[in-house]
């Protein structure tokens, strides 16, 4: 592993056990992601994309194999260390936005920062800078129900980047949006990437996978292809 390697997966497996039935969600996944890369994880429904993203985000643990994050073996982390990394080093963007309805835009973006015990002045600076990035600083006092789907996803992106994480994990971030708002969110993700963000995005839509540097295609829990997007487009 080099200092530029942020993520390294070696033979990762995930098996779910229910009523004596084994479901092999991931099998022998080998993957490296460098700092500053933008990687799309693509493939049909049920191929293991979201399971893989959950493992990368420390929301779940693998059944086998090894995962190194920032040159540290994840298996050796305690529950408290995993929680700290999720809060400080990983920004999550979900398909369903996951905004809290009775909090304002400002409060939604601020909430994860309060869990860190961050001083109020620093929280305010971080929140406003993040909302400026996504073009939503004029809506700080609005509630989620007062926003369109595209605007809610922009707030969700602001919440993810306000903590200045090591990486952004996006699970179908355009899934609940129309094509116009979907493209707008993709342009926003590209802008964050140009600013140095490491992004791993799950998508089933090849149009959106093309926005990334690399497209990793899963099928039946295995990596079928791992290509530079420019190669796929014949550039």
Helix axes 105-114, 120-133, angle to 10 degrees: 130
Note the pLDDT of residue 20.
80
Going 120 to 124 to 125 to 131, the CA torsion angle's sign is: positive
C-beta neighbour count of 153 within 10 angstroms: 29
Distance separating alpha carbons of residues 161 and 170, to the nearest angstrom: 12
* Tokens at 109, concatenated: 């973006």
φ/ψ (deg, to 5) at 137:
-70, -20
Q: Is 139 helix (H, G, I), strand (E, B) or coil?
A: helix
pLDDT at residue 87 tops 90: no
Nearest residue to 110 via CA among 98, 128, 132: 128
Note the pLDDT of residue 227.
87
Tokens 């493939």 -> residue:
43
In terms of DSSP bridges, do strands 198-203 and 167-171 run parallel, antiparallel, or are they unpaired? Answer: parallel
Tokens 């929140």 -> residue:
127
Which homologous superfamily is 35-62+77-232 in? P-loop containing nucleotide triphosphate hydrolases (3.40.50.300)
Read off the pLDDT of residues 154-169 as tens digits, 9 standing for 90 and up. Answer: 999 999 999 889 899 9
Instruction: Give the whole-number percent of the chain exceeding pLDDT 90.
Output: 66
* Tokens at 133, concatenated: 């990035």
Mean pLDDT of the chain: 91
Tokens 């779940």 -> residue:
60
Read off the pLDDT of residues 8-22 as tens digits, 9 standing for 90 and up. Answer: 999 999 999 888 888
Read off the pLDDT of residues 179-214 as tens digits, 9 standing for 90 and up. Answer: 888 888 898 899 889 989 999 999 988 888 888 999
Tokens 């993709």 -> residue:
186
* Residue 7: strand pairing partners: 33, 69
Which residue ranges make up each domain of the chain? 35-62+77-232
The answer to whether residues 58 and 74 touch, using CB atoms and an 8 Å cutoff, is yes
Read off the pLDDT of residues 92-117 as tens digits, 9 standing for 90 and up. Answer: 998 888 999 999 999 999 999 998 88
């Amino acid at each position: 592993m080099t200092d530029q390697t942020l993520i390294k997966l070696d033979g990762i497996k995930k098996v779910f056990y229910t009523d004596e039935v084994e479901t092999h969600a991931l099998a022998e996944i080998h993957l490296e992601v460098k700092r500053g890369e933008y990687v799309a994880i693509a493939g049909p429904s049920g191929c293991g994309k979201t399971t893989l993203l959950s493992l990368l985000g420390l929301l779940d643990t693998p059944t086998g194999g090894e995962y190194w994050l920032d040159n540290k073996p994840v298996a050796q982390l305690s529950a408290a260390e995993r929680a700290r990394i999720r809060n400080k080093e990983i920004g999550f963007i979900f398909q369903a936005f996951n905004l809290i309805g009775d909090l304002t835009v400002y409060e939604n973006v601020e909430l994860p920062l309060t869990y860190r015990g961050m001083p109020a002045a620093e929280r305010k600076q971080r929140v406003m800078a993040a909302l400026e990035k996504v073009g939503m600083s004029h809506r700080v006092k609005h509630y989620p129900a007062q926003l369109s789907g595209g605007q809610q996803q922009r707030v969700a992106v602001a919440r993810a980047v306000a903590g200045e994480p090591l990486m952004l994990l996006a699970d179908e971030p355009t899934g609940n949006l129309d094509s116009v708002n979907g493209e707008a969110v993709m342009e926003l993700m590209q802008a964050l990437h140009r600013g140095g963000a490491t992004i791993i995005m799950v998508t089933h839509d090849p149009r959106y996978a093309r926005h990334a540097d690399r497209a990793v295609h899963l099928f039946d829990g295995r990596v079928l292809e791992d290509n530079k997007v420019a190669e796929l487009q014949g550039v």
